Amino acid sequence: MASQGRPKDSFHCVGIIFFLLGLGTLLPWNFFITAIPYFQARLILGNCSVGEEDGNWTSESPGPAPRCSDDFNFSNWLALLSQLPLLLFTLLNSLLYQCIPDKVRIVGSLVGILVLFMLTAILVRVEMTPQSFFSVTMASVWFINSFCAVLQGSLFGQLGSFPQSYSTLFLSGQGMAGTFAALAMLLSMASGLDSQTSALSYFVTPCVGTLISIVCYLLLPHKDFARHYLEKRTPEEPGCEMETKAGLLSPVDGPQGELLHQSNGNIVVLEQAGLKCPPEMMNGNGGANHGPPKPSVLGVLKKIWQLALCIVMVFSVTLSVFPAITASVASTSENKTWSEFFTPVCCFLLFNVMDWLGRSATSYFLWPEKFLRLLPAVVGLRLLLVPLLLLCNVPQRAYLPMLFRQDAWFVLFMVVFSLSNGYFVSLTMCLAPKQVQPQESELAGAIMTFFLALGLSCGAGLSFVLKALL
């Protein structure tokens, strides 16, 4: 029931809108990494010499793409050029939010993503040399993820004005983006259409999803419930205001990429309906102070450095092998249908489902919450998964041996890999706000967001080294 003076969210419309917006923010990354087999088919075919593979194989042929030399290192560059703009534009957005209105940044980013995805869909029907296709795709990846960084930061800022349950719905939508992309890939492959038509239908899906996100965001201010909270962001009594703390991160957070909920300088104004400024906010003359002293970056970092280190370690390990190495693992089965669906199912769908379960587990327990000194060591155990995945059935290798040929080994490693990724990401993000004072939680959120993006970028860079070790 809505409290006095607050409209009700009829039929949970605002909650549904934020869920769909969360889904839309991570669709680009997930649709690109899930489509790695398609991109590699177009790039690798140009590098296949006669006799190296079946010379009669074309992009319309059934079955997986030939396993030729991947001179472009597409999956490595995809990860790197997706995460670098996330790091750079997350910082840039923190400077732009005071200069450019939220609506301009959010709608402009969504329109930019829509246009670039339409370009990606059109390129499915355009014959290009592998070099030209690679360059255009990488440029598109860079700009799409730049828009995504601004979009996520802006939406997180607006969510700071809403109840915490709406942040949970937004982050739940982000968590479903990877599973949605994997299911879309499986449906397009199972449709029985030729490869080009299947790829075209696959890339049209995020175009529709982004268009729905634009409509949802434009509807948001027309809902009384949403307008009630959005109007709170404008201070009305400058003499009696305080900075709001960032909302605690929900246990459910999004696939590659998954950001900490933070507030971009939102102001909560004490209304005059019988409310008075707290005594600690009053100065000696009866006037109002400006709240607690501004927290320092160094002071907050000293309190959460272990969690910041852990989030860097988690994403460095994850992005170093996913998807650059894991998407290259091939099935040893003689069943052609299973071999074709092996990567979408065992790499992408399995990762996203297990990652979501790992994040959900923090709703029930937060171990080791009372022993934070153990956390870096426990997170460090995930490093053991890197050599295990490197020793799976990756055909393109020159140095390391192949010890785990059977599909079951890869599936087992991926379950542990994705479950631990989801759990430790959500755990560190949940514990960070609990280590600082309420007035410091916004800065803690910004710091954790920066280290999250840093971990993603480090992992993407490390993937080049691991690929070379093969």
- Looking up tokens 């970056």, which residue turns up? 297
| Choice among 293-297, 409-413, 439-443 with the minimum mean pLDDT | 439-443
Residue 243 clears pLDDT 60, i.e. is over it? no
- Structure-model confidence comparison of residues 249 and 367, the more confident one: 367
Instruction: With a cut of 90, say whether residue 404 has pLDDT above it.
Output: yes
Number of neighbouring beta carbons within 10 Å of residue 280: 9
Q: Is the pLDDT of residue 60 over 50?
A: no
pLDDT at residue 289, rounded to an integer: 52
Quick one: 408 exposed, middle or buried, by C-beta within 10 A (0-12, 13-18, 19+)?
exposed
Mean pLDDT score across all residues of the chain: 80
Q: Which residue has the tokens 């006037």?
A: 287
> What confidence category does residue 292 fall into, taking pLDDT thresholds of 50, 70 and 90?
low
Q: How confident is the model at residue 70 (pLDDT cuts 50, 70, 90)?
A: low
Banded model confidence at residue 291, pLDDT cuts 50, 70, 90: low
Query: Longest C-alpha distance within the chain, in Å?
Result: 88
CA distance 43 to 51: 18
Q: Cβ-count burial of 444 within 10 angstroms (0-12 exposed, 13-18 middle, 19+ buried)?
A: buried
The model's confidence at residue 99, banded by pLDDT at 50, 70 and 90, is confident
pLDDT, tens only, 252-288:
444 344 433 333 333 333 333 344 444 444 444 444 5
CA 231/CA 200 separation, integer angstroms:
42
* CATH number 3.40.1160.10 given to 10-48+70-469: no
Question: Which pTM does this prediction carry?
Answer: 0.75
